[in-house]
């Protein structure tokens, strides 16, 4: 169906070396998209080589997402690899720091805000310029249930993800009329490396699963369908939407 056909599209995925980011990069590759994965270590090249060996068009850029100059250099290099065009940007990279609010180090606050929000804005801005010139493009940001809730011991993460939700809406207000769809996915409790502490906490784990109507943690595979929908023509009239993929958690 042409509504869902992504064959030949070009994409950048930040944080594409592990967890949800890798799952989403794989989803795009499986759909026929050429992808550049951004990662902070040489693992990005290893992952890209592994996926390319399967016959997919996959490249990598090693960069420091916390550094503006590195972000810009990686974006420019990725654009060259993609032949100068960009159809899709997926902002999946993110970091987490946990401390009590009254003890939260300002250095950790700055790190989380820089990677989760400032870097995401700059990536959107760079991609937006290309997409506006083309007259079309899809940007998918990764928000969180903590875009809606405050959480515990994660004030910086909650603030950053609340910011992602509002930034997604702000960008869509200005770019929807220029052919650029900006939306976000808000994953629920996902069984990834970032949530290892919660998964290993028997009491907290039981509380979380009891609250989820689907009665399980999510997986990277659960993100694939919603992502492909938001990257395809099927979602051309969706702008500024924050789509929960949470097993029903928010509706409980």
Q: What average pLDDT does this structure show over 141-159?
A: 96
Report whether pLDDT(248) > 90.
Answer: yes
Q: Which residues are catalytically annotated?
A: 157
Q: Which of 3, 2, 1 is nearest to 230 (CA)?
A: 3
pLDDT for res 21: 96
pLDDT for res 175: 98
84: left (phi over 0), alpha (psi -120 to 50) or beta: left
Whole-number Å distance between alpha carbons of 135 and 115: 28
pLDDT for res 192: 85
Q: What average pLDDT does this structure show over 214-225?
A: 95
R_g of the chain computed on alpha carbons = 17
DSSP-based three-state secondary structure for 247: coil
Whole-number Å distance between alpha carbons of 222 and 201: 23
Backbone angles phi, psi at 190, to 5 degrees: -110, 140
Q: Which two tokens stand for residue 39?
A: 């990662």
Q: Which two tokens stand for residue 56?
A: 């997919």
Q: What average pLDDT does this structure show over 30-46?
A: 97
Whole-number Å distance between alpha carbons of 221 and 193: 15
Whole-number Å distance between alpha carbons of 124 and 175: 11
Q: Which of 61, 62, 64, 60 is nearest to 52 (CA)?
A: 60
pLDDT for res 186: 98
Q: What average pLDDT does this structure show over 76-92?
A: 98
101: left (phi over 0), alpha (psi -120 to 50) or beta: alpha
pLDDT for res 195: 79
186-197 pLDDT, tens digit per residue, is: 999 999 877 787
Task: Domains for the chain: give ranges and CATH numbers.
Answer: 2-191+219-245 (3.40.50.720)
Q: Enter the pTM of the model.
A: 0.96
DSSP-based three-state secondary structure for 110: helix
> If you ran DSSP here, which 8-state letter would residue 190 be given?
B
Report whether pLDDT(1) > 90.
Answer: no
CA distance to 43, 141, 155, 243, per residue, from 146 (Å): 28, 14, 10, 13
Whole-number Å distance between alpha carbons of 57 and 223: 21
Report whether pLDDT(152) > 80.
Answer: yes
Whole-number Å distance between alpha carbons of 96 and 108: 9
Instruction: Please list, in sequence order, all residues whose beta carbon lies within 8 angstroms of the beta carbon of residue 185, skipping any fewer than 6 positions away.
Output: 140, 141, 142, 143, 223, 226, 227, 230, 242, 243, 244, 245
């Amino acid at each position: 169906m042409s509504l869902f056909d992504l064959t030949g599209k070009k994409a950048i995925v930040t944080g594409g070396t592990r967890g949800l980011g890798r799952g989403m990069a794989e989803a795009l590759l499986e759909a026929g998209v050429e992808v550049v994965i951004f990662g902070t270590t040489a693992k990005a090249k290893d992952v890209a080589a592994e996926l390319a060996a399967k016959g997919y068009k996959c490249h990598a850029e090693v960069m420091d997402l916390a550094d503006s100059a590195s972000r810009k250099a990686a974006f420019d290099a990725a654009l060259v690899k993609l032949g100068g065009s960009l159809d899709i940007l997926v902002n999946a990279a993110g970091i987490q720091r946990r401390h009590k609010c009254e003890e939260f180090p300002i250095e950790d606050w700055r790190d989380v805000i820089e990677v989760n929000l400032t870097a995401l804005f700059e990536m959107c801005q760079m991609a937006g310029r290309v997409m506006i010139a083309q007259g079309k493009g899809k940007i998918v940001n990764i928000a969180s249930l903590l875009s809606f809730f405050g959480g515990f011991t994660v004030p910086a993460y909650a603030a950053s993800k609340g910011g992602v939700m509002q930034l997604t809406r702000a960008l869509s207000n200005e770019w929807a009329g220029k052919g650029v769809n900006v939306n976000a996915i808000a994953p629920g409790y996902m069984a990834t490396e970032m949530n290892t502490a919660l998964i290993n906490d028997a009491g907290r784990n039981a509380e979380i699963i009891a609250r989820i109507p689907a009665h399980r943690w999510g997986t990277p595979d659960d993100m694939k369908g919603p992502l492909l929908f938001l990257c395809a023509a099927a979602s051309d009239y969706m702008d500024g939407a924050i789509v929960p993929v949470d097993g029903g958690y928010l509706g409980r």
